[in-house]
Amino acid sequence: MKLAPKHVGLIAMILSAISFGTSGAFIKPLLEAGWSPAAAVTVRALTGSVVLLPFVVFALRGRWSALWRGRRRVLGMGVIAVAFTQFTYFAAISRIPVSTALLIEYLAPLLLVLWAWATTRRLPRPTVLLGSVLAVAGLVLVIGPGALQAVDPLGLLLAFAAAIGCAVYFVVAARPADGLPPVALAGSGLLLGGLVLGLVGLTGVMPFETVGGTVPMLGATAPWWVPLGVVAIAGTAIAYATGIAGSSRLGSRLASFLGLLEVVFASIFAWLVVGESLTVLQMLGGALILAGIASIPGEQPAAAASDQPADTVADRPADTVADQPADASADTGPLPAMTTG
């Protein structure tokens, strides 16, 4: 039985959220052993791109011109979605608590709703607004109410910049493919992002340190490359490839809300792998995030919208046009905030 594109997209986004959720629990032993965050994310991105390389070659089948046609998406994914987002996030947590930075970064779905509102000048449907409130409330409970506190203004600005980068990731991922397979966008974007992060590390802007030997993991010890391998394969290669594939089928708005499931799965993996507690409030927050996602109506991805005649959009009811995602309703113009995954 062939699944509908929306169902494939939902499965891909849930798999992406689960995969991204492994990152924190398995990268934590490396950080505790002496790895700097910049080194960890750089090696993670570059290793993830190497893991995806054979799949990229197979997907392109010699059609390397697709990379050139999609160069703007590759640049957006590598420079903004990977390198810029990682850099600003880790710069933010050097000045403000991790919980606060996470809470601000994961406001990315709300930014996309506001962007669609600003570009269409039409109020989103009540279900979209309700879903946004429920999801943000759940996010606060999962991350912890302690994230809401007065902190360094520059740290807040950096975290907000990371939120913009996160939003750009979903916008770039949902744009029309133009012959560039999702896995090729993921692999090339990770390679470019890893190289940019490596260059930033060489400048000394952020500490760049690696440590060999063994690290504690799952109540025992393991070579340093074991948790790094889990993060590179599951938390990076699979996570980005499935996230891009899912976003291209669901549109950036719905995909970004599904991406909030990452914090839920991250809490579960932290409980299973490193023994962090899983509270009733976190479970309630997870339920609210699910309720928020369920409230978000489906949308027409950009790839489908771009194939329709111009007059079909003009003939739609106002509330239908208002709910078009940013990447579908204004896809012929520049991307939000910074031109770009």
Q: Is residue 21 within 8 Å of 265, Cβ to Cβ?
A: yes
- For range 224-253, the mean pLDDT: 92
Q: Using the predicted structure, report yes or no on whether residue 82 has a pLDDT greater than 90.
A: yes
Type of residue numbered 202: L
Tracing tokens 């190497």 back to the chain, one arrives at: 50
Task: Give the three-class secondary structure for 223.
Answer: strand
Confidence of residue 146 (pLDDT cuts 50, 70, 90): low
Q: Using the predicted structure, report yes or no on whether residue 205 has a pLDDT greater than 90.
A: no
For residue 325, CA distances in Å to 3, 88, 96, 99 come to 23, 25, 32, 28
- Please indicate, yes or no, whether the overall pTM of this predicted structure exceeds 0.85: no
Q: Using the predicted structure, report yes or no on whether residue 80 has a pLDDT greater than 60.
A: yes
Percent of the chain with pLDDT over 70: 84
Q: What is the pLDDT of residue 326?
A: 37
Q: Is residue 91 within 8 Å of 206, Cβ to Cβ?
A: yes
Confidence of residue 65 (pLDDT cuts 50, 70, 90): very high
H/E stretch holding 314: helix 310-314
Each residue's pLDDT tens digit, 151-178: 678 888 998 999 999 999 999 998 877 8
The token duo for 169 is 């990731």
Q: Residue 251 region, left (φ>0) first, then alpha (ψ -120 to 50), else beta?
A: left
Q: Is residue 19 within 8 Å of 234, Cβ to Cβ?
A: yes
| Cβ-based neighbours of 251, under 8 Å, separated by 6 or more | 174, 299, 300, 301, 302, 325, 327, 328
Type of residue numbered 287: A
Q: Is residue 71 within 8 Å of 189, Cβ to Cβ?
A: no
| Interhelix angle 126-143/280-295, nearest 10 degrees | 160
Which residue, among 86, 82, 112, 83, has the nearest Cα to 101 in the 3D structure? 86
Percent of the chain with pLDDT over 90: 33
Task: Give the three-class secondary structure for 34.
Answer: coil
For Cα atoms 84, 328, 260, give the angle at the middle one, nearest 5 degrees: 50
Confidence of residue 147 (pLDDT cuts 50, 70, 90): low
The CA distance from 170 to 302, in Å, is 12
Which residue, among 181, 151, 149, has the nearest Cα to 57 in the 3D structure? 181
Q: Using the predicted structure, report yes or no on whether residue 297 has a pLDDT greater than 70.
A: yes
H/E stretch holding 214: strand 214-217
Q: What is the pLDDT of residue 300?
A: 58
Q: Using the predicted structure, report yes or no on whether residue 334 has a pLDDT greater than 90.
A: no
Task: Give the three-class secondary structure for 263.
Answer: helix
Q: Is residue 57 within 8 Å of 187, Cβ to Cβ?
A: no
C-beta neighbour count of 163 within 10 angstroms = 24
